[in-house]
Structure 1
Amino acid sequence: MTVKLRGIYTTALTHLLTEAGHEVVQASGPIRDRFDADFGTERAAVTVATTDDRQGVGVSGDDERVAAVQELVTGVGRDTLWWPDPTPEGAVYAGEVTETLGSGAVVDLGDAEGFLPYGNADDRVETGDRLVVQVAEAGAPWTDGRPVLETAVAVRGSLLSLVRGASTDTGGVGGPSMLDLVAADPREGWGVSWERASDDADFDALAAALSAANERAAAIDDALADAPPAEETAPHCYWDDTTTTWVWFGRESRFELDEARRAVTTTMTGHHRLKAGHRTASTAIDYVEALCDDPEGEFPFAVTAEQFGPREGGSLELGHGKPDGRLISLGRGEVTAVDADGTVTVERELSPGGEYDALGVPKEGGDIAETTLKEGRWWYPTTYRDSEGTSKGTYVNVCTPVEIFPETARYVDLHVDVVRHADGTVERVDDDELDAAVAAGEVPEELAERARGVAAAVENALS
């Protein structure tokens, strides 16, 4: 199986994939330098790309092959979670425009909503229009981003793309057609455009990529040929013979990826944790690793916080991930303390109304929530106090190991929690929600057992 990788996790995943017998293709320059191996230029059946926020990867490609790569990637650590995308890249829909915005239109696809930039549409788009669209770029569930759509129907690849109804790029004025050189033709009614990576590919690889693209184009033609027009059937999926899966790496998993990378090249402790936290950290990390032969040791939280944040007096958002892939912001608070051991204290002033979960006491004006987060810990407490400083109770959230990035503290909530009421009574809650998440396939049993063990330990400590 051929796999193309890009982003901050590439070296580690290249090591894991090649060790498992998979073939990495179209490797970048640094990867070619680090590995004593020959990397082909042929078409990739699966693409693994780091998400824009660097929290994980998207795995996209042929249905039957994505599953094998996904299994390996999600097996990195017990706090790695994954979710299938209901609108995978390349899927073709009959969609209905439900809203027009400044830069594009919101389109109902049935399974989800998509966003069609006006620049991706052939004609003017208005509310109520029904049209054929294709998913050009899927979005990770924790980003709340709608998939990006286009009205052109295409089979996109890293070597070449086929576009339905388009003309073929001949590969240069006055020169021989690339199609003449590869001795192959696109499917009738489709035009070829050559991607940048095709410059480094041999003719056999290009011919094989064109053959695979032609097969996919034929499948799309077949799906559209007998289907009712978009005006009659929207919202409706015409064709989705591809898979996109989103993988989120927890803190333990990032350190496991460090180990995989260390098997190939010098890797400092916390390499992936640091690069996931701040874009400008990448240059500093590459510099340190280039200078040091063995930069292993404790994760340098104090230095990281001093250089990039969070800092005392600043603010920090609580990024509350859910096991179904969503990310919920619990709001931003003032950072009141940052300790060298990785502990950060955040205070938030709360608005009145309703009750505190599981504590059963009202939220009142002037209430303060003090949250104590520690890098790498599987739980964190939030103590609620009234305007005079009297405790209203403490809520301990059990979660995947906390990562404190410069702007946001991130984790995935594991449902089961422990509360300590103002009178000292300790109660464990939401075990049933964790059980339901396991039954739904959202939380692996190993991770659930860890959560239950953490909850038991916290309950004993507070009793």
Structure 2
Amino acid sequence: MTVKLRGIYTTALTHLLTEAGHEVVQASGPIRERFDTDFGTERAAVTVATTEDRQGVGVSGDDGTAETVLDTVTDIGRDTLWWTDPTPAGAVFAGEVTETLGSGAVVDLGAGEGFLPYGNADDRVETGDRLRVQVAEASAPWTNGRPVLETTVAVRGSLLSLVRGGSADTGGVGGPSMLDLVAAEPRDGWGVSWEMASDDADFDALAAALSAANERAEAIDAALADAAPAAEAAPDCYWDGEATTWVWFGRESRFELDEARRAVTTTMSGHHRLKAGHRTASAAVDYVEALCGDPGGEFPFGVTAEQFGPREGGSLELGHGKPDGRLISLGRAEVQSVEADGTVTVERDMSPGGEYDALGVPKEAGDVAETTLKEGRWWYPTTYRDSEGTTKGTYVNVCTPVEIFPETARYVDLHVDVVRHADGTVERVDDDELDAAVAAGSVPEELAERARGVAAAVENVLS
């Protein structure tokens, strides 16, 4: 399988995928320098790209081709989680505009919602309009963003793109004579434009890329040929696009990726953990490794927090991930203390109304929640107190290993939790939700077993 990789996990994944027998193509300059091998320039059947927030990767490719690549990527660590995208890049939908905003429109696609910037639409867009759209940029589920849409239908690739209804050759980097040089033609009714990477590809690779693009263009034409117009079909999917899976790396997985990268080049402890947390920290990691080599030792949480945060007196967002891929913010909390061992204590003022989950006591004005997080721990406690400091109960959340980034503490909730009531009674809750998540395939059994074991240990300590 030919694979193109980009982003902070590229070196580690290049090592793992080549070891698994895949061929990495269109490699970047640093990758060419680190690996003693020749990399091809041909079209990639699968693309693995780091997400904008650096928390994971998107794996996309032609239908059915990405499975063996996914097997390697999702097997990195037990806290690696993944989700299939129902609205992947390239998918063509009949959508209905449900809301117009300042810069674009929200479009109901049936499988989800998308965002159509006004600049990506051929005509004026109003609420209630039904129109054919294509996903230009997909969105990872934990970003809580909508995929970006356009009304142009195209087959986009790293070497070239085909545009439905375009002229035979739109020029671009390759110039207007490129089709003569590659001795190939785009499908009738589609125009070709050459992407920047085509400069480094040979003519055989360009011809193969055009052939593959023509096949996809043919599939789109076939899907649209007998389809009902958007005014009648919306919301519906005309064509599935690139099969895309979003992969979120937990803390253990990032350290496994460190080991894979270390087999190739100098890699400090916590390399990927640091790069995922802060862009400036990412540059600092490169500097340290270039200047000092591998400094050895454990992940330097204390130094990292001192340089980049969080810091006492500041604030920290609690990013509560769910096994279905969503990320819920529990709000920002004031940082009370930061310890070198990775322990961070935060407090939140609670709004009145309703009850605390599983504790069965009311949320009242003046209540304070004190949460103690520790880097790498599979659980964290939150103690609720009233305005006079009397404890109302403690809720212990069982989750994937906590990562405390400068602005946000991140983890994925694993459903099962333990509570201690004000009278000292200890109760384990939500085992049924964890069982349901395993049955639904959103939590692997190995991870679920770890969660149950952690819950049992916490219950035993609190009892």
TM-score, length-normalised on structure 1? 0.98
Question: Aligned partners of 1:72, 1:27: CA distance in 2, in Å?
Answer: 19
- Give per-residue Cα distances to partners, 1:220-255, cap 9 Å, x unaligned: 001111111111111111111421110000000000
Partner of 2:26: helix, strand, or coil? Answer: coil
Whole-Å separation in 1 of the counterparts to 2:170 and 2:269:
49
Letter of the aligned partner of 2:139 in structure 1? Answer: G
Change (3 A) 1:407 1:173: closer
Report the AA paired with residue 150 of structure 1. E
Pick closer, same or farther for the CA change 1:163–1:172 going to 2, 3 Å.
closer
Q: Verify the 8 A CA contact 2:63 2:243 in the aligned structure 1.
A: yes
Match of 1:42 in 2: 42
Query: Does the CA-based 8 Å contact 2:170-2:191 persist in structure 1?
Result: no
Answer with 290-299 or 89-98: which moved more.
Answer: 290-299
Find the counterpart in structure 1 of residue 442 from structure 2: 442
- Partner in structure 1 of residue 313 of structure 2: 313
Alpha-carbon distance in structure 1 between the residues aligned to 2:68 and 2:103: 38
User: What amino acid does structure 2 have at the position aligned with 1:53?
Assistant: D
Give the whole-Å Cα distance in 1 for the aligned partners of 2:159 and 2:196.
7
Match of 2:287 in 1: 287
Q: Is the Cα–Cα contact under 8 Å of residues 135 and 150 in structure 1 kept in the other structure?
A: yes
Residue 55 (structure 1) aligns with: 55
Residues 14-59 of structure 1: per-residue CA shift (max 9 Å, x gap): 0000000001110000000000011101001111111111000111
Task: Report the counterpart of residue 70 of structure 1 in structure 2.
Answer: 70
* Counterpart-to-counterpart distance in 2, 1:281 and 1:296: 18
Indicate the larger mover: 214-223 or 62-71: 62-71
176 and 326 in structure 1: CA distance in 2 versus 1, 3 angstrom threshold: closer
The answer to whether the Cα contact below 8 Å between 1:267 and 1:296 also exists between their aligned partners in 2 is: no
Equivalent residue letter for 2:204:
D
SS of residue paired to 1:86: coil
Correspondence 1:24-423 to 2 at 5 A: 24-169=24-169, 171=171, 177-423=177-423
Distance of 2:422 and 2:72 partners within structure 1: 46
Secondary structure, aligned partner of 1:64 = coil
- Letter matched to residue 398 of structure 1: V
Q: Which runs of 5+ in 2 are unaligned?
A: none
Distance 1:170 1:163, change over 3 A: closer
Moved more, 215-224 or 294-303: 294-303
**C-alpha deviation, 1:123, in angstroms:** 1.2
Return structure 1 stretches of 4+ with deviation > 3 angstroms: 168-176
Q: Is the 8 A contact 1:337 1:345 kept in 2?
A: yes
Give the alignment's TM-score, normalised by structure 2.
0.98
2:76 counterpart SS class:
coil
Question: The residue matched to 1:197 in structure 2 has which SS?
Answer: helix
Q: For 1:173 and 1:212, locate their aligned partners in 2 and report how far apart those are by CA, in whole Å.
A: 20
Q: 1:335 to 1:179 in 2, by over 3 A?
A: same
Look up the SS of the partner of 2:329 in the other structure.
strand
- The offset of 1:136, in angstroms, is 0.6
Deviation of 1:172 after TM superposition, in Å, equals: 6.9
CA separation in 2, counterparts of 1:172 and 1:76? 40
1:169 Cα offset (Å): 3.6
Structure 2 SS opposite 1:370 = strand
Structure 1 Cα separation of the partners of residues 145 and 377 of structure 2: 29
Report the Cα distance in structure 2 between the residues aligned to 1:347 and 1:249, rounded to whole angstroms.
Answer: 27
Does 2:16 align with 1:16? yes
Code of the aligned partner of 1:271 = H
Q: SS in structure 1 opposite 2:78? A: coil
Q: CA deviation at 1:61?
A: 1.2
> SS at the partner of 2:77?
coil
Alpha carbons 2:317, 2:329 under 8 Å: kept = yes
Task: Give the drift of 1:294.
Answer: 2.7
Matches of 2:100 and 2:442 in 1, distance apart? 34
Q: State the alpha-carbon separation in 2 of the partners of residues 99 and 420 from structure 1.
A: 45
Q: Which moved more, 1:127-136 or 1:17-26?
A: 127-136
Which deviates further from its counterpart, 299-308 or 241-250? 241-250
The answer as to whether partners of 1:91 and 1:241 remain within 8 angstroms in 2 is: yes
Q: 1:190, CA displacement in angstroms?
A: 0.2
Higher deviation after alignment, 118-127 or 322-331: 118-127
Q: Distance in 1 between matches of 2:303 and 2:191?
A: 53
Residues 175 and 258 of structure 1: CA distance in aligned 2, closer, same or farther (over 3 Å):
closer
Distance in 2 (CA, whole Å) between partners of 1:18 and 1:382 is 44
Alpha-carbon deviation of 1:176? 6.2
Calculate the aligned-residue CA RMSD, in Å.
1.2
SS where residue 282 of structure 1 aligns? helix
Q: CA deviation at 1:167?
A: 1.7
8 Å Cα contact 2:386-2:392 kept in structure 1: yes
* Matched residue SS, 2:122: coil
1:246 is paired with a residue of what secondary structure? strand
| Residue aligning to 1:451 | 451
Amino acid at match of 1:274: L
The AA in structure 2 aligned to 1:22 is H
Contact 1:170 1:179 in 2 (8 A): no
Instruction: Give 1:171 shift.
Output: 3.8
Q: CA deviation at 1:129?
A: 1.4
CA apart distance, 1:170: 5.5
Contact 1:90 1:134 (8 Å CA) reproduced: yes
Q: Mean Cα displacement is larger for which, 262-271 or 167-176?
A: 167-176
Paired amino acid for 1:41:
T
Unpaired runs of 5+ residues, structure 1, are none
Contact 1:95 1:230 in 2 (8 A): yes
2:33 maps to amino acid: D
What is the deviation of 1:295? 2.2
* Displacement of 1:102: 0.6
Cα deviation, residue 292, structure 1? 2.1
**Once the two structures are superposed, what CA deviation does each residue of 1:296-315 show, in whole Å capped at 9, x if it has no partner?**
21000000000100000000
Is residue 92–residue 241 contact of structure 2 (8 Å, CA) maintained in 1? Answer: no
CA contact (8 A) 2:172 2:194 kept: no
Structure-2 change in CA distance of 1:183 and 1:412 (3 Å): same
Give the letter for the 1:326 counterpart. R
CA contact (8 A) 2:169 2:179 kept: no
| Residue pair 1:14, 1:24 contacting (<8 A) in 2 also | yes
The amino acid of 1:37's aligned partner reads T
1:173 deviates by: 11
Q: Which amino acid aligns with 1:388?
A: E
Residues 317, 332 of structure 1: 8 Å contact kept: yes
Q: Do 2:173 and 2:194's aligned partners in 1 also have CA atoms closer than 8 Å?
A: no
- 1:182 maps to a residue whose letter is V
CA distance in 2, matches of 1:27, 1:189: 32
Shift, 1:174, TM fit:
12
